[in-house]
Structure 1
Amino acid sequence: MLDHDTVTDRPATLPDDRLPATVQAALRHRTDRSVLVDHRALATVRARFDTEQADSLTRYLEASQSPNTLRAYRTDWVAWAAWCTRENRQALPADPVDLAVYLALAADTRRDGDPPRWAYSPATLDRKAAAIAAVHAANGLPSPTRADVVRLTLRGIRRTRRARPARKRPVLLHTLEALLAERPPATWPGGITRRRDTLLLLVGFAGALRRSELAALTFADITTETDPATGEPLLIAHLGVTKTDTSATAHQQVVLPRGARPHTCPVCAYADWTELVETRRRGGQDAVRTLLDDPGPDDRVHRCHRFTPATALTELATPLLPAVNRHGGIADRPLSGRAVAEIVKRYALRAGLDPDLFGGHSLRAGFATQAALGGAGDREIMRQGRWSNPRTVHRYIRVANPLDDNAVTRLGL
């Protein structure tokens, strides 16, 4: 069912069921489950410092990367360590030639299929090298990836495997309408998921948010302001750690104004969702059921006039977009970034679209493309999307209208 969040953060898959005992022990031992500090190096740290000091070091090293990056790095490091054990090589510190051979073999690996497909893209191999470099750096060791043999191997892989990168299709305005049309009924219990997913789609689209940024939002991150030009309410989403602001020092924020149409208005979606969450906070599940059984205002009418969320709610650092089960239960944990992508895919499938072409990035890409179609300049798009490189935005503009400012229209053919 669409109103059941079945997506969870999958554990890193191990490359070989017969991992060496030393690697398995490091993964099982909770205090040695550091990604950036190798278990052998961690043992050295613990021999020189007490447990509290070693744990502090590990905790802050882990905090230097996002959870998604750490999960990927953990998978990559385990695969590298297992290969080194099988080949009687040393994982840390690594010999650059060993690493180059490992990457070359990985580049030649194919998955079964008709026709067989490459198991790893050049970008994935770059990430594998980055993971190994990160572990070396965290342990105070020189990175083997700086050696010419590794750099040239990766360059050769990219030149040999030249292919257009697979990008998710943008959710344009008509696509967004199609996704919204596939929401569950407004009644109990699907109405809970309906309201949450409406907010997810509209905030992700209008805010040009990455899926990780959407998943990380809390009620305390959203403030309600008044548009000085119209007097209508608008939302400000304050972002924490992002892909381009890894230490949250830039205090990035995006503005979400009132929409012209109620059913695509982010402020209305926020008003509906906060009404439900506040009702649950005050009266529990029975009160939510009563709320959803009441037809309420028509979707064609704005629900955000003079909207002011409950003060107690806006002060909570609870997830803005929590997981919801099929019975109407709202979890305390937020959706993961992967779950955000899967929700977009589910609605795409139900709308008759190919779900493989859509994902979490489709909302962010859709904002840039739709804004370009609407005549927005790259500076305007960059401001809302927080892009710093105009070339990134220009890719979306070219997708939106490839003939715009193109001399081919002046050839007279």
Structure 2
Amino acid sequence: MHTTDPDDTPAPRDQIALPPPVRARLEHPDHSVLVDTRALERVRERFDTEQAQALGRYLTNAQSPATLRAYRADWTAFGAWCLTEQRTSLPADPVDVAVYLAACAEQRTPDGTGWALAPATLERRSAAIAAVHGAHGLDSPTRAEVVRMTLRGIRRTRKARPHRKAPVVLSTLETLLAVRPAEGHPGGVARRRDAVLLLTGFAGALRRSELAGLTFDDLALRTDPASGAPTLVVSLWATKTDQEGRAHQRVALPRGRHRATCPVCALADWSALVAVHRDGGAQAVRAHLESLGAPDPAPAHSCQQLRGIDLADGANRPLLPGVDRHGRLAQRPMTTKAVGNLVKRYAARAGLNPDDFGGHSLRAGFATQAALGGATDREIMRQGRWTNAQTVHDYIRTANPLEDNAVTRLGL
């Protein structure tokens, strides 16, 4: 039986009211919406079914799963609007697309206090319409000047600064770690997994999608030649800025100064428990946790005894699987949404406003804390894999607005 995090349930969609047939399509999307099925049928006629299926599989994988999900939902919303307004969605008239985007821009939140859709969301909806037309060999209506001018007008009208999640700096991270479930069963399972998630996401400056996609096979243990301490090297294959995995990006996570915030110790504790589950199942995990004594108030590092990643055995085992309230591990990984909700949940437990935090808070927290610690732009960009220095400068200004600022020389 597969189990999942309670946060894996779908969130309500901020879309226009949809007719029941369209709503059903949205909940059970057509996975070929970005693939020209007529072209595949011609391949099937000219070659065979197996070759058509192979081509369709690779065409589908041309986009990341998150992008595909977003585009499918966006296309279904546009199709619903066209159905209501008696317009044609494929091929769409540029004026119809412009009117649709303008209508979406006018939508308000249920309480009427704000806009329902951000300009970035409307630009993504425009991109989804373009992608579906392109997949079917049709000219994109979004290239028309009327659509481009409409989007430009929306951006100029809605000049609000994007709402950014608060960074999880080191002090906040320690607070979140302190409110994890208690040791023992069943809380000890989530306690160990969530330590890996928080510390790896923070020290590695990882995105939600990168965290959710990690497997034990992506991990390797190295020894720091200067100190002899273990260092965890995480391989990132497909990322937001390298979706084809050509750069084969890696991040290094060193041994922490303190046991409670050491990402390598967190991995050692978690991998030991996952190995118990692999060998004996849920009952063995329960027995193992119940056999542990009272927690040591000043525990020593456990990473020094880590000799390798035993679970990196080619099984593609998720590093962060779902865990239910009974402490049972799922076979599938956490979703990106569950990663963000986990940070929010711990923020709420710690007495913080959960709306201020999310999955990006760990990555933002790394950059902010590194800037506070005196790290250079180059050092921050290397670990976070940023290619735009302006992004890093925004984090540095957040961390210390007086850093490298001429205002300090005014003699006030």
TM range (shorter): over 0.9
C-alpha offsets along residues 45-84 of structure 1, whole Å, 9 cap, x if unaligned? 4256344444334322221111111111111101111111
Distance across 2 between alignment mates of 1:266 and 1:48: 50
What is the aligned-residue RMSD (CA, Å)? 2.3
Seen in structure 2, the aligned counterparts of structure 1 residues 79 and 29 have a Cα distance that, compared at 3 Å, is closer
Which residue matches 1:148?
A: 145
Question: What is the percentage of aligned positions where both structures have the same residue?
Answer: 59
- Structure 2 residues not aligned, in runs of 5+: none
Seen in structure 2, the aligned counterparts of structure 1 residues 237 and 29 have a Cα distance that, compared at 3 Å, is closer
The structural deviation recorded for 1:87 is 1.7
Question: Which of residues 193, 197, 200 in structure 2 aligns to 1:200?
Answer: 197
The structural deviation recorded for 1:156 is 0.5
In 2, are the aligned partners of 1:322 and 1:333 still within 8 Å (CA)? Answer: yes
The structural deviation recorded for 1:15 is 4.2
In 1, are the aligned partners of 2:218 and 2:312 still within 8 Å (CA)? Answer: no
Distance across 2 between alignment mates of 1:24 and 1:260: 52
Q: Which amino acid aligns with 1:137?
A: G
Seen in structure 2, the aligned counterparts of structure 1 residues 225 and 314 have a Cα distance that, compared at 3 Å, is farther
The within-5 A match list for 1:7-406 is 7-8=7-8, 10=10, 13=13, 15-18=16-19, 32-37=30-35, 41-43=36-38, 45-46=40-41, 49-50=44-45, 51-113=49-111, 115-293=112-290, 294-295=292-293, 298=296, 300-309=299-308, 311=310, 313-406=312-405
The structural deviation recorded for 1:306 is 3.5
Shifted more, 5-14 versus 362-371: the winner is: 5-14
In 1, are the aligned partners of 2:40 and 2:56 still within 8 Å (CA)? Answer: no
Q: Which amino acid aligns with 1:381?
A: I
Distance across 2 between alignment mates of 1:17 and 1:104: 18
In 2, are the aligned partners of 1:12 and 1:75 still within 8 Å (CA)? Answer: no
Which residue matches 1:411?
A: 410
C-alpha offsets along residues 7-28 of structure 1, whole Å, 9 cap, x if unaligned? 2262885744425x6x679769
Q: Which amino acid aligns with 2:411?
A: G
The TM-score normalised by the length of structure 1 is 0.92
In 2, are the aligned partners of 1:4 and 1:326 still within 8 Å (CA)? Answer: no
Distance across 2 between alignment mates of 1:61 and 1:12: 29
> Number of residue pairs matched?
404
Question: Helix, strand or coil for the counterpart of 1:111?
Answer: coil
Seen in structure 2, the aligned counterparts of structure 1 residues 313 and 62 have a Cα distance that, compared at 3 Å, is same
In 2, are the aligned partners of 1:208 and 1:367 still within 8 Å (CA)? Answer: yes
Question: Helix, strand or coil for the counterpart of 2:8?
Answer: coil
The structural deviation recorded for 1:42 is 2.2
Question: Helix, strand or coil for the counterpart of 1:284?
Answer: helix
Question: Helix, strand or coil for the counterpart of 2:148?
Answer: helix
In 2, are the aligned partners of 1:238 and 1:251 still within 8 Å (CA)? Answer: yes
Seen in structure 2, the aligned counterparts of structure 1 residues 398 and 26 have a Cα distance that, compared at 3 Å, is closer
In 2, are the aligned partners of 1:271 and 1:309 still within 8 Å (CA)? Answer: no
Question: Helix, strand or coil for the counterpart of 1:305?
Answer: helix
Distance across 1 between alignment mates of 2:381 and 2:73: 34
The structural deviation recorded for 1:116 is 2.9
Distance across 2 between alignment mates of 1:42 and 1:412: 70
C-alpha offsets along residues 257-295 of structure 1, whole Å, 9 cap, x if unaligned? 000101100000000001111122223333322322212
The TM-score normalised by the length of structure 2 is 0.92
Distance across 2 between alignment mates of 1:25 and 1:365: 37
The structural deviation recorded for 1:350 is 0.3
